[in-house]
Amino acid sequence: MAGGAVPKFSNEAGAREIAIGVKEFTCIGANPPFDHPHIWLDMGSDAEIVCPYCSTLYRYDAALGAHESRPAEALIREKSSV
């Protein structure tokens, strides 16, 4: 994602699929300390991708913003250092 931070998503709740508004992102699996290696995924021209570590199905949804997901709690909000 040129020009911005790459969003991170987790599947702490064990959702069957997660809808996201980007095609390039990082999956961390569950929330730390139970996360898997943080893996960068790129859907390319496809509309979905499965994480090879946690098997979460991510589907692109153009109606969502770059930092939005459904369910909303799948987005990892980075803590500000201010």
The whole-number pLDDT of residue 79 equals 66
Per residue in 18-61, pLDDT (tens digit) is: 999 999 999 999 999 999 999 999 999 999 999 999 999 999 99
pLDDT in tens, 55-72: 999 999 999 999 999 999
CA dihedral 55, 23, 7, 12 (to 10 degrees): -20
pTM: 0.89
H, E, C per residue of 5-66: CCCEECCCCCCCEEEECCCEEEEEECCCCCEEEEEEEECCCCCEEECCCCCCEEEECCCCCC
Half-sphere exposure of 68 (CA within 13 A, CB side): 9
